[in-house]
Structure 1
Amino acid sequence: MASSPGSDAALSSQKSTLSESSRTKKFPLTEEEIFYMNCRAAYLTVFKSSLENIISKDQLYLALQHAGRNPSQKTINKYWTPQTAKLNFDDFCIILRKEKPTSKAELLKSFKKLDVNDDGYILHTDLYKILTKRGEKMTQEEVNAIITLADVNTDGKFDYLKFCKLYMTTSEQCLKTTLEKLEVDSKLRRQQFGSHIEGSPERDPSPIPKSSPRIIRKTDQETFSTKGDARSSLLSATRKFKTSVSFTIAMGVNSNRNSKLTEPNSLKEWQCAQSKGCFFLEEDSEVISHQYRMQIAQRSMVYLTIKPLNLSQVEGKPSPWLSVDTALYILKENESHANLQLVCFTELRNREVFGWTGELGPGMYWLIPFTTGCKLKKEIKPITEEAQLVYRDEMGELFLTKEFRSTLSDIFEIIDLDGNGLLSIEEYNFFELRTSGEKCDEDAWAVCRENFDTKKNELTRQGFMDLNLMEANDREGDPSDLWVTLHSMGYNKALELTEACPFVISAYAEKCKPRIKAAHMEGCSGQLEKTICKSVLNKGDAKVMDVSENITVLTYKCDTWITSVIENKSESKVIIHVNNELSKNCINSRGLNIFAVEVAPKSTMVCQHVMPLNERQEWIYNCVFSLLS
């Protein structure tokens, strides 16, 4: 927040705390800590707390599956005898130490024994005979569940090479999903799990818990192992992959030529309102952005557009955010913010501009910006040389470098939402909330006006520059706090805007002047997620995943991207395995070709957005969704 030079500590305190936390480095986890973290993640996928006990074979089987194990019925019986009433978290950890994960090589070796032609395939008829007549027999329903898996069966043959890859990646992705959930949920991180207490990295890991007397039996000394058992892998798969559905959509190079955005003929005579904003990429890759309220005084034809904001850049230097897709959802406010009705979204496109034309009645509307996240990604390439932000002259006086001043000028353009060349307290507070998490109150704003250049009670571009220079002086030239601000705004160490996309919204109305004002900033998991789901539920192609019709996958195609949504009407959570490997010239918002998502009971969630990698080439969306237990 802004303050006078006489109270420099007030301004720098909030950002120094953030800066120091950003420089904190965690010690790497030991193998023992990683083992317990994986145990917790698997256990908490099945149970709400590690203090709950395993009370059935099915629960034990499911927990072991989520830990990446491949238990046969014989293995389950080894740890769950007629005398076993329950197992606790410590018992579960002991079992995981003994039952090592099956490797892909071991699975392949086992399947090759069944491959009579040595061509990577097993006929469905042979597979049926083997699995229902020999050894640990499988039921007809279980075998049918394997044969109907869309991405490993074709022409009456079972592709066990693809199956092994699918099986291994599913185990890995399920574990990754549960680990990410564990990391995000601070309550779970603070729990005590069995005998192991999660502590600071400086501490030695807790000792290996002693075995529970419930499972110390003679059978524990047996050396029986199911590693490499293809039958148990297939049996496990019947529980993992209950059913699957697939979507295939071919998109041409000029798929949007018949629905191109065109301006109304008399647009020059319409009244216009504009507002700028920005998509910001969070550490967990969630996208957040400004959201707006728009007032329409009387019924009128309206033309709405959104496009990336082109900032002043060095000549010849690319602006990566200009290729980021942008869109806008329009919702009607009925009595309250909690009751919003989806009206439309800017589906039509002309180059980088997305827009919508139609009639709106009088009232208050919400404008919610949206980007798929396919092209706004966390930066991967390392920056070898850090840009200089400040320097001292021969007299020792501190100045901002030319490069940093240019960057600050661009930031000013981004946060000057109404584009009047000045920053109001409301605009400045959006910046403060983004960079420090705090707001500037009226008293602090008054002090800011007294000490920095202002016009009409608003901060000028020069005043904004001087404010940042004062911050550097507060730290005696240390640029740490300035870097916190830059990283929060999406800039890397080379002063390149790589993890944000500024945009501009324009609203034209034929019979009245629209009014647009930024209301708050929010992530895609809030109102936007609900809005996307509602839109896809209304327009998408639906395929039911189970016989009870509780799980449905819906896919919606517009000219620029494809969105898939999963609806779970059941009373329990479900895990859906998603495989995009057969798609061509595609990128998706998850950043992975194969992944798993967890859908809560009685809920709907966005699974992924998919776009062409190269828009000048044809692209094919081919995705298989498999329901896991």
Structure 2
Amino acid sequence: MSFQDSPRPSDEEEAFYVQCRAAYLAVFRSSLTNISSKQQLIRALQLAGRNPSQATLNKYWPPRTSKLNFDDFCEILKSEKKIEETELMRAFKKMDVNGDGYISHSELEKALTTRGEKMTAEEVNAIFSLADINKDGKLDYAEFCRLLVSTVEQCQMAVLERLEANAKLKRQNFGSQSYSPPKSSVSSASAATAQVAVTLPQPPETPWAESDTALKKDSRSSSRPSSARSRRSSLSNQITMTSSTKTSKIQEPSALQEWHHSNVKGCFFLEDDGSISSLQYQLHVPQRANVYVTIQPLSLSHRPDKPSSWMTVDTALFVMSAGETKEDSSLVCFTESKDKEKYVWKGELSAGTYYLLPFTSGCKLKKKSKKSPSNKSVELVYWTDTEELDLTRELREVLSDIFEVIDIDGNGLLSLEEYNFFELRTSGEKCDKDAWAVCKGRAENFDMRKNQLTRQGFLELNLMEATEKHGDPADLWVTLEAMGYNRMLELVEACPFQIDVHSEGTQPSIQPLSMDSGPKLLSQALQKSITARTGAKALRGQDNIFIYTYRGEHRISSLIANKTSQKVTVHVNNDQSRNCCSSRGMNVFAVEVPARTKMVCQHILPINERQDWTYNCVETILPCT
């Protein structure tokens, strides 16, 4: 289902976030409390039905980690699958050498001490003593799998029921949202309980959850009710937007075909931490001129009747003056209007050099699982009848699309500079001029023209790398995943785009840039675009904490300005918004704003652009924890 067709987040998504919060609140008093140790992370993950290995934990909690927040926790749960009985059974059957449905102590010990993340003999003994339910020296692994899965379900249901029972805690962490555990989950957990006649372990107790005493004590700590305190330091903002399918306010110049034209391509990439990166560009305008600027997603579909899935991703282009230093740069304009997939700006630019900074809100370009639903991967290479390695048709089509994206100037050839943008993205290393000269000298292997790589040469280069690995596709998958593809060769974590600049009477030129301060410049431009278009509203009772809410034709963005000398935590509730999706991925969240800092809070877009949408947001200052 596309974003345009979906009227609201799915029940599955809502249930997922409720489960995340329920597990989190079984360990912490508030979803705003940070995870401060690996042990706390393990407890929260187990209550959410995950049982990660030590290696997996080390990935999410590397040596220098000091804390994770609730958003981080949700991202981990998205990446880590729940314990599934079928997968457990498959793993145990591999250990069951004679196939009798049982595993002996020696079979278990051999598997767990010699494969994967190796265990000690003592750890294996501990597991076997717990798993040998009948104490007959053998492990009935089918029974054990059922017990383990039902225990996980019981833990999940227990934290949901605890949250449901504690009405006050629910209001504090969910606002006005009402949620009841799905009946199917309750019935399946009850059935599992009836099947397993053993005492199941209960979720670990936390100090604040032992009784309601602590909460009642907190509620008596002030003569003013907590709800009144929240209202005193909160701000409510409601904006109703009409359908954005109307014609853009900016009309395309009638003689546009007679204007000089320059264009470049690029791509938004979702990084592992959830951030979005892209190339940035430098625009040179030789003399003062009228300019028409557009940015839009780039369709790579081979079928005209099937548009690319990322064509609904919003884009924007910020134009900044290029001062003597990057700190001197200032926002000149940005593409505020929309005409179908194009985001446009029309105006006059003085002669000079400018930075072009592509942007997407992240509302419709989010992290997704790169694994295929069937856990199968598309074949990338195959051996021909003559026992030569070749690329499959599916891979050739994808590599051709990648060529289209990295051919920044669109001339049908890859220069060394263009190829190196691709190399830095996929391998982190550049191809030097000597290596490029070798490619040129080996024309029989790599088709080149004018010292540039052709599309066919790009395919041949990838085939050579696969051949050097004797057909092992591992390196090819590294390349494809770095470019945003999943194992079914679907582009799920990237959005190609195209920038066009038309100039009346003078020829504009655009060059790609690789700037270390690029994210800082984009953040500066984004913040200025919000604060320059709207007035600040102080939170009630807070003279030095302000909310800016930018209302564009197709996007709403908010910014929090903290002018105090200490950090503040702002609780944001979009629960009453209608037909809206947030760049945060959830309706209720918290933002920690450092002292004397401005921070973009969220971006909001309509889920269905053909319908009206209502932005209703309540921001509340929360006390330090």
Tell me the TM-score range normalised by the shorter chain.
0.5 to 0.7
What are the residue-to-residue correspondences of 1:377-456 with 2, within 5 Å? 377-380=366-369, 383=372, 384=374, 385-451=376-442, 452-456=446-450
Where structure 1 has 5 or more consecutive residues not aligned to the other structure, the ranges are: 1-30, 40-48, 52-62, 68-101, 111-160, 171-220
Distance of 1:523 and 1:586 partners within structure 2 = 32
- 3-state SS, counterpart of residue 491 of structure 1: coil
> Helix, strand or coil: the match of 1:536?
helix
- Give the direction of change, closer, same or farther, for the CA distance of 1:267–1:447 in structure 2 (3 Å limit): same
Provide the secondary structure at the position in 2 that maps to 1:512: coil
Which of 371, 383, 399 is 2:360 aligned to? 371
For 2:276, the equivalent position in structure 1 comes to 287
Q: 1:470 to 1:247 in 2, by over 3 A?
A: same
Structure 1 runs (4+) deviating above 3 angstroms are: 36-39, 102-110, 223-231, 233-242, 254-257, 314-318, 521-525
- Distance in 2 (alpha carbons) for counterparts of 1:533 and 1:227: 44
For 2:389, the aligned partner's letter is L
* Matched residue, 1:246: 236
1:240/1:628 contact within 8 Å kept:
no
Aligned residue number for residue 518 of structure 1: 512
**Counterparts of 1:107-186 in structure 2 under 5 Å?**
161=167, 164-168=169-173
The alignment partner of 1:476 has SS state of: coil
Unaligned runs of 5+ in 2: 1-35, 45-63, 74-157, 176-206
**Could you tell me whether the CA contact under 8 Å between 1:289 and 1:522 is conserved in 2?**
no
Q: How does 1:579-590 map to 2 (within 5 A)?
A: 579-590=573-584
Which residue among 215, 232, 249 is the counterpart of 2:218?
Answer: 232
Q: Aligned pair 1:505/2:499, yes or no? A: yes
Q: Give, as a single letter, the amino acid of the residue that structure 2 aligns with 1:328.
A: L
SS at match of 2:331: strand
Shift of 1:312: 3.6
Are the aligned partners of 1:278 and 1:501 in contact in 2 as well (CA < 8 Å)?
yes
Kept in 1, the 8 Å contact 2:551–2:557? The answer is yes
Q: Give 1:73-92 correspondences, 5 Å limit.
A: none
For residues 618 and 581 of structure 1, do their structure 2 counterparts lie closer, same or farther at Cα, with a shift above 3 Å needed?
same
Residue in 1 aligned with 2:39? 34
Shift of 1:263: 1.0
What letter corresponds to residue 290 of structure 1 in structure 2?
L
Q: CA deviation at 1:346?
A: 0.7
**Cα distance in 2, alignment partners of residues 230 and 106 from structure 1:** 16
Pairing partner for 2:349 from 355, 360, 379:
360
Q: Deviations over 1:347-396 (max 9, x none)?
A: 11110011111111011000001111111111248512311110001222
AA at the equivalent of 1:517: Q
RMSD (Å) for aligned C-alpha atoms = 3.1
For residues 332 and 50 of structure 1, the distance between their equivalents in structure 2, rounded to whole angstroms, comes to 38
Q: Which AA in structure 1 matches 2:617?
A: C
Which residue of the partner structure matches residue 329 of structure 2? Answer: 340
Alpha-carbon distance between aligned partners in 1 of 2:518 and 2:324, rounded to the nearest angstrom: 24
Q: How does 1:562-573 map to 2 (within 5 A)?
A: 562-573=556-567
Aligned mates of 2:174, 2:337 — CA distance in 1: 37
Question: TM-score, structure 2 length as denominator?
Answer: 0.65
Residue 234 of structure 1 deviates from its aligned partner by 6.8
Pair 104,428 (structure 1): closer, same or farther in 2 beyond 3 Å: closer
For 2:438 and 2:370, locate their aligned partners in 1 and report how far apart those are by CA, in whole Å.
42
Write the letter of the residue equivalent to 2:591: V
Q: Give me the whole-angstrom Cα distance separating, in 2, the residues matched to 1:365 and 1:233.
A: 56
SS of match in other structure, 1:343: strand
SS at 1:539 equivalent: coil
Q: C-alpha displacement at 1:448, in angstroms? A: 2.1
> 1:625 aligns to what SS in structure 2?
strand
TM-score, length of structure 1 as denominator length? 0.65
> Quick check: 1:562–1:610 contact (8 Å CA) kept in 2?
yes
Aligned amino acid, residue 530 of structure 1 = Q
In structure 2, the partner of 1:558 is 552
Q: Partner residue of 1:625?
A: 619
In the alignment, what sits opposite 2:587? 593
- 3-state SS in 1 of match to 2:330: strand
The yes-or-no answer on 1:532 pairing with 2:518 is: no
Q: List per-residue Cα deviations over 1:255-274 (Å, max 9, x = no partner).
A: 754x4331112211110011
* Aligned counterpart, 1:615: 609
In 1: Cα distance, 2:506 partner to 2:614 partner: 44
1:399-431 deviations in whole A, cap 9, x for unaligned? 000110010000000000000000011111111
Given that residues 370 and 485 in structure 2 are in contact (C-alpha distance below 8 angstroms), is that contact kept between their aligned partners in structure 1? no
Provide the rounded CA distance (Å) in 2 between the counterparts of 1:308 and 1:233: 52
**How far does residue 550 in structure 1 lie from its aligned partner after superposition?**
1.4
- Code of the residue aligned with 1:410 in structure 2: it is D
Cα deviation, 1:6-63, whole Å, max 9, x if unaligned, reads: xxxxxxxxxxxxxxxxxxxxxxxxx994327789xxxxxxxxx999xxxxxxxxxxx9
Q: Distance in 2 between matches of 1:422 and 1:399?
A: 22
Change (3 A) 1:38 1:335: farther
**Percent identity of paired positions between Structure 1 and Structure 2:** 47
Structure 2 residue matching 1:276: 3-state secondary structure:
strand
